[in-house]
Each structure stands twice: as structure tokens, then as C-alpha cells.
Amino acid sequence: MSRRIPAPADQSRRSFLRAFGVGTSCAAAALAGCEVAEIRQDGAVGSLDFDVTTYPALATVGGMVAADAGLSKLLLIRVSDTEVAALNRVCTHAACEMIPDAIGKWDATAKQLTCLCHNSTFDATGKYLTGPGGVADLPSYPVTFDAAAGTGTVDLGGA
Ligand code: FES
């Protein structure tokens, strides 16, 4: 994981990170994983850096983890050798939070996410497939992923 030294102009952004507890302390986050979130000038989270060391499930195709970036509740899914998908994990049917291997299940063969609250299904782009109520698509975010390095970035401004 890369860390950068804050320039003086970054101090207000760093203060915002501390205030909201976003990605500021790898030591504090050691039990739950560690990520670095980039906060834009308007206070929104702009990006989330991740790596397979922090999230070992992403080292294997079919792996899925929960990751938070500010108020954004994400699922990161290793959908292929070269791709990681990032979806909002709050189901659009009745707002169940799709915790991996509890309420959210990823089928690597069908490339399909199931919300186990009422069995709505979505594809890797967040598109609604089946389930009650004809629910809306899950927000999805562009991801750049370097499979050789095992690192990636989610662009949270690109939903
Ligand atoms: S809340 Fe997800 S299917 Fe109902």
C-alpha cells in the first residue's frame, strides 16, 4: 500500500479524514484491513486505493470483500484474472447490507451477486437481474486494477 506525505495544501483534507475516521490509521484498522481514501475538495470521497495484501480474498478470482470509503459502503469483487468490480453493497430492494458470505453471495461461475435478504440478483456491473419488486441497479464504480502488483483504485466519482 502506498502512503504519501501530505503537502501543506492537503492539511485541510487530512483534517477531514481524521474527523470522519476515513483511511487515516493503518494501525487502528489492522484488524479490519487498511485502505487509503482520497477526499475531494468538496468533501466527497473521490477514490479508494486497495491491495490484495490488505484484502486477501481479492487475490483469487471469485473473492469478495466489504470496504468502506467515507459513507460509501462497497463490495469489491475479483471477477476475473484482470478485473475487480466495485458495487454499492446496500441492496436497492429493501436496503439490506450485503455483507460477504452472510447476506451477500457472489457466484463466480454465473458472475452473479445475490442479496440473501430476498434473493434479488445483480451482475458484476450492478445491473438488476432477478428478484422481488424489479429493483433498481446497484451503483457501480470504475476500478483500475494492476493484477501483477495486486493493487487497484476505485473511482468513487465515476458511478
Ligand atoms: S433487500 Fe436485497 S433482495 Fe430484498
Report the distance separating Cα 87 and Cα 114, nearest Å.
Answer: 12
pLDDT at residue 97 in the model = 97
How many A from CA of 121 to the centre of ligand 1? 9
pLDDT at residue 35 in the model = 57
Question: Residue 64 corresponds to which amino acid?
Answer: M
Question: Residue 56 corresponds to which amino acid?
Answer: P
pLDDT at residue 124 in the model = 98
Domain 49-158 has CATH 2.130.10.10: no
Domain boundaries, given as residue ranges, for the chain: 49-158
Ligand 1 pocket test: pick from 73, 112, 115 the residue with the most ligand atoms within 8 Å of its Cβ.
Answer: 115
Successive 10-residue mean pLDDT values, the chain, 159 residues: 40 39 38 52 74 96 94 95 97 96 96 97 97 88 97 87
Sign of the C-alpha dihedral, residues 1, 108, 85, 18?
negative
Cβ atoms within 10 Å, residue 152: 22
